[in-house]
Chain A
Amino acid sequence: MSASLEKGIHALKEVIDAPIASYFESCVHCGLCAEACLFHTETGDPKYTPIHKVEPLRRVYEREYTLLGRLKKMIGLSKPVTDAELDEWQELVYDSCTLCGRCSLVCPVGNDIVYMVRKLREGMAVSGHAPAGIRSATKNTVESGGPMGLKWPAVANVLRKAEESTGLRIPVDQEGAEYMVLLSSMEIVNYPEYIDALAKIFHKAGISFTLSSEAYEATNAGIQIGSSDLAKVIVSRIVDAAEKLKVKNVLSPECGHAYMAIRWEGPNLVGRPFKFNVVHVLELLDDLRLKGVLTMRDKLKDPLILHDPCQIVRRGGVLQAPEPLIRQVAENYIPIADKQKLNWCCGGGGGASAIHTEAAEALRATAFRIKKRQIEEAGVGTMVTFCANCRITIEEGFDHYEMNTKLLGLTELLAAHLEA
């Protein structure tokens, strides 16, 4: 296999840009980003300070793109970044960073640290320092279509079951539909109710939709591992399929990173703007709510709080839709202090949930304490979210702490209470 340190450095030289230079020059080592990172707040370990996680990137920037750094390199005053160092940083760049972007929100000099972590992963991936779990997820997605190795016949099977249970038709490969629906493997395997819910809502709203047998998987492990080339391969399938079917919109599933990949990174990966719109399912639902289509049969009485998935809300910009939607269906929604763009991550984003080493799992469990605390402080027995990956991570957390909190997906919750 061909990963190497040289390839890693080469990749970093390609991605270092003016914002990164400005960010590194601005850092005053105040340490406030640590206060925004759940891996630091829950462990107290200073090595999880976000800006420290991008130290190898800083070193490459200094050596390659500053005059003083170049001079130091020339006379041997600065040491090159080594394989051993990148190996040490693997835990910091992947296990303990979910690309949640909370640090970027608090830095007083304005550094977008998550932007830098994402770029550093470009170098980590091709120098062979990505965790095995994310590597195999990436490999599966590129080679067989999805991170879990799910193939179309299996998906078609799930769709058939959904048609049976809802009694509604779910079109496949239908040209000219308004929406092309994307799914994530996790939804197909773990939360097929999502598909039922969507079918119900589309039919009620009278909007045409379709799935593509060539592109049904929305998640993009290429983004999580940090390889734009591979991410491009994955996202191109969706773009090609959507343009082939001439759909107006592509509907991103709840899954956060999927939305990030198709909505925000997608056009930049393929190198041109899309000919279709990318819409997150909550955006569609909120639109329907405003149009009066999304009327509820009844409301959920249980007191509950909302977990805003990072990639959809803080980093995805779907800021305003979730709260009105949850209020539409829940009578006792309790807004928490750190909500919306200030939410705390579940601890499993950015590919972290695919890392199955003992240390990574223990770290995730520790980081989960912040969600546990939020639930306990609100005194609720139910939490609602809208990201399949958050759901998996949160449920793991519930199991670990033996909590009997109920976890619901927002789209399904809405569908379940939808007026027929």
Chain B
Amino acid sequence: MQGPLIDTLARQGVTRRTFLKYCATLASMMALPPAAGRAMAEAMAAVRRPSVIWLPFQECTGCTESITRSHSPTIEGMIFDMISLDYQETLMAAAGHQAEEARQNAMKANAGKYLLIVDGSIPLGQNGAYSCIGGRSNVDILKEAAGGAAAVIAVGTCASYGGIPKANPNPTGAVPVSDIVKDKPIVNIPGCPPIPVVMTGVLAHYLTFGSLPELDDKGRPKSFFGETIHDRCYRRPFYDQGKFAKTFDDEGARRGWCLFELGCKGPVTHNACATVKWNGGTSWPVESGHGCLGCSEPDFWDGGGFYKALSAPADPLKFAAAASVVGAAVGVGVSFANRAKKNKAKATHETITVADLEK
């Protein structure tokens, strides 16, 4: 399956026109100028498949599932197929020493040029013993693979920010890619799982311009993560009007009112779900009636409960009883001291005479 991408696509029944349209859409999603769509199409049509090594660490395969499992073949899926995926444990046919050999070969052949995709977090506890492949710890493999990579793409919240493995109490000492790799450009594509088009968008950008897209302060492509779910949510007008669903089956829920009070994390979550949607634009969590979990944000698992409103504290009265007791005790203590002092002053009162008016 060598040769330009456009040929492969043609074989799959994707016309040039469809591909062009797709590139234009992709360009607009990434907030690139309209001309970029054509440039992207041309570049991608002609490009030879770059070598990609995909390293899975502490992960659930959800990210891979998200990208590969679609009801019908999508262009995202196909573009993904079209890269030279030289190592992907879940997808590759090879196993055991063969697989490791393939990885070593690809790294040698494309040294300094291959893209490294990582999903899953990296455990550091017990010298990395919590997750090993072929007898080597994840952290070892990552360091080695990152050494020859042109760039690293951290796919999913685990690779980007540590994700669920890193959730309190983080038994494996999980860390994100960015804690290990310091000398390569890293793109974080968080989400649990991430949106497929974001991955292809980043790949397309890299293939077209030979560089990574502009990132925000959390290493995410600004074009997809620049706005919050809340900003673009179709239920936003209800928030502004103060119309909230109070339970999942009340009148407000049926009318599609805002899910803020039911714990929606939309206001603090940066992602493209509200505009791109899922499953080929079918729907997305809020549209299906459930608040956003905030899965593309660091530490979303420890964000104070999925069903607690953002303005609602986790457990504010935790110390209330103890504090009240201590406060009352201090008050009573001072009160006794004060009364003793005042009574003493009264008891030692010396009757004033006119002589006491002058010094």
Contacts and interface: CB of A to CB of B under 8 A. Distances in A.
Interface of A: 1-4, 7, 10, 13-14, 16, 64-67, 70, 125-126, 128, 130, 135, 138-139, 142-143, 225, 227-230
A165 B156 CA distance: 111
Nearest to B357: A135
Contacts of A4: 359
A3 B342 contact: no
A130 B345 contact: no
B35 interface: no
Given A1-B359, A13-B341, A14-B342, A230 B330 contact: no
Q: Determine chain B's interface SS by DSSP, over half rule.
A: helix
B190 to A, nearest CB: 48
A229 B353 CA distance: 7
Contact of B352 (A64, A65, A67, A230): A230
Given A1-B359, A65-B338, A67-B330, A139 B345 contact: no
Name which of B334, B341, B356, B358 has the most chain A CB atoms within 10 A of its CB: B356
Contact of A138 (B338, B345, B357): B357
B342 A139 contact: no
Contact of B342 (A16, A143, A225, A227): A16
A13 to B, nearest CB: 4
Given A67-B330, A227-B352, A13 B342 contact: yes
B346 interface: yes
Contacts of B351: 229
Contact of A1 (B342, B352, B355): B355
Given A14-B342, A14-B349, A67-B330, A128 B354 contact: no
Contacts, number: 63
Given A7-B356, A138-B357, A230-B352, 15 more contacts: A1-B356, A1-B357, A2-B356, A3-B356, A10-B349, A14-B342, A14-B346, A65-B342, A67-B330, A125-B352, A126-B352, A126-B357, A130-B357, A227-B352, A230-B353
B282 interface: no
Interface residues of B, number: 20
B357 A227 contact: yes
Contact of B354 (A64, A70, A142, A228): A142
Interface in B321-359: 330, 334, 337-338, 341-342, 345-346, 348-359
B267 to A, nearest CB: 35
A135 B342 contact: no
Contacts of A230: 352-354
Contacts of A10: 345, 348-349
Contacts of B357: 1, 3, 125-126, 128, 130, 135, 138-139, 225, 227
A1 B358 contact: yes
15 contacts: A1-B355, A1-B358, A2-B356, A7-B350, A14-B346, A14-B349, A64-B341, A65-B342, A70-B337, A126-B356, A130-B357, A227-B352, A227-B357, A228-B352, A229-B352
Interface string B196-208: 0000000000000
A135 B341 contact: no
